[in-house]
Chain A
Amino acid sequence: MLDADFFRRWMTATAVSVDREADRLTALDSPIGDADHGSNLRRGFTAVTAALEKEAAGTPGAVLVLAGSRLISTVGGASGPLYGTLLRRTGKALGEAAEVDEAGFAEALRVGVDAVMQLGGAAPGDKTMIDSLVPAVDALPGGFRAARAAAEQGAEATTPLQARKGRASYLGERSIGHQDPGATSAALLIAALAEADGE
């Protein structure tokens, strides 16, 4: 079973990994975006960990709703409302349960990913975070390691794609050949699940 502490560890592990990889995310965002993905997410997840230390969030759902709200408030770029919606909708789908099992979490995360697709209007293959989140959710019933591998593969598979959403889509064919920064950061988020689980 996954309790509120697990979800706090998930957010903390994501913050650590975003901080470590911020320069790489920004480097990926330089040729096809506006070169701020790493710094934006670092600012957002720093705010998330600060809020989780300060504010009471006693259930898995409350942890994710609080984290998502902080991301929307602090990131400043499109990844804020997108990740914020992902976490808030997932958290709301978890309801007020004190613990959730992995199957329940997988279902809730799918609700969150669907909400992101609706908000951003992106589908798989558009070269966005969806390209690592959807395979991760599909693989999640097989465990966190399987989800991590699927997300990383999904992120790498964005390299040959032409962007159809966001700032990168203005580049047309010039967006081909670069791994999508959003798919890459989404893979970090998924990888942090395994870390929170002690792997």
Chain B
Amino acid sequence: MSDGKPVGIVLVSHSAAVATAVAELARGLVGGGTAVPVAAAGGTEGGGLGTSAELIAAAAVSVDRGAGVAVLADLGSAVLTVKAMLAEGDELPGTARLLDAPFVEGAVAAVVTASTGADLDAVEAAAMEAYTYRKV
């Protein structure tokens, strides 16, 4: 547990529509737990497909309640941009962590787990576990 403060979740996609929709989906599946701050950082600042470091940084700050920030990313530049920002050390909240998880399934697992008041380690574990659910 994390003193009642929820872990924040940032969803980084190449597409603003994808990031926003996945955030909605994850929030919609929470039910009645703690309100979890979820921010979408999709596409470039101009509204195109791609990744914006500025949007990611702003999203991370907006969901940081002091209990840690879990970042999920979809493809190529989204993943690389988050990793490059984390490597820098001062561009994301100190507790921010990129989760090694599938984007949609991991986001749902992360948000639902965070809504139980779980800490960042538990949120990360739940999101990573989403990789183990085989579909066939």
Say whether A88 contacts B88, CB under 8 Å.
yes
What separation, in Å, do the CA atoms of A34 and B81 have in the docked complex?
18
Q: Determine whether A143 belongs to the interface, using a CB cutoff of 8 Å to chain B.
A: no
Stretch at the interface among B28-36, B50-58, B108-116: B50-58
> Interface size bucket, A side?
20 to 34
What separation, in Å, do the CA atoms of A80 and B82 have in the docked complex?
11
Say whether A73 contacts B80, CB under 8 Å.
no
Residues of B within 8 A of A40 (CB): 50
Q: Determine whether A166 belongs to the interface, using a CB cutoff of 8 Å to chain B.
A: yes
Count A-B pairs with CB separation below 8 Å. Answer: 50
A77-B77, A78-B76 are known contacts. Are A84 and B84 too (CB-CB below 8 A)?
yes
Say whether B77 contacts A81, CB under 8 Å.
yes
What mask results when residues 84 to 121 of chain B are scored 1 for a CB within 8 Å of chain A, else 0? 11011000000000000000000000000000000000
Residues of B within 8 A of A25 (CB): none
> In this complex, what residue of B is CB-closest to A85?
B84
Interface size on B, residues (CB 8 A): 17
Say whether A120 contacts B48, CB under 8 Å.
no
Say whether A85 contacts B87, CB under 8 Å.
yes
Q: Which of B51, B53, B87 is in CB contact (< 8 Å) with A77?
A: B51
Say whether A119 contacts B84, CB under 8 Å.
yes
List CB contacts (< 8 Å) of A38-81 with chain B.
40, 72-73, 75-81
Q: Determine whether B83 belongs to the interface, using a CB cutoff of 8 Å to chain A.
A: yes
Q: Determine whether B62 belongs to the interface, using a CB cutoff of 8 Å to chain A.
A: no
What separation, in Å, do the CA atoms of A115 and B52 have in the docked complex?
21
Say whether A76 contacts B48, CB under 8 Å.
yes
Residues of A within 8 A of B54 (CB): 73
What separation, in Å, do the CA atoms of A84 and B48 have in the docked complex?
20
A77-B51, A80-B51 are known contacts. Are A167 and B76 too (CB-CB below 8 A)?
yes
- Distance in Å from the Cβ of B45 to the closest Cβ of chain A? 8
Say whether A76 contacts B52, CB under 8 Å.
yes
Q: Which of A72, A115, A166 is in CB contact (< 8 Å) with B81?
A: A72
What separation, in Å, do the CA atoms of A73 and B91 have in the docked complex?
11
What separation, in Å, do the CA atoms of A77 and B49 have in the docked complex?
9
Residues of A within 8 A of B87 (CB): 85, 115, 119
* Cross-chain pairs A/B with CB under 8 angstroms, 14 sampled: A72-B85, A73-B52, A73-B53, A76-B48, A76-B52, A78-B76, A78-B80, A81-B77, A81-B83, A81-B84, A88-B88, A119-B83, A119-B87, A167-B76
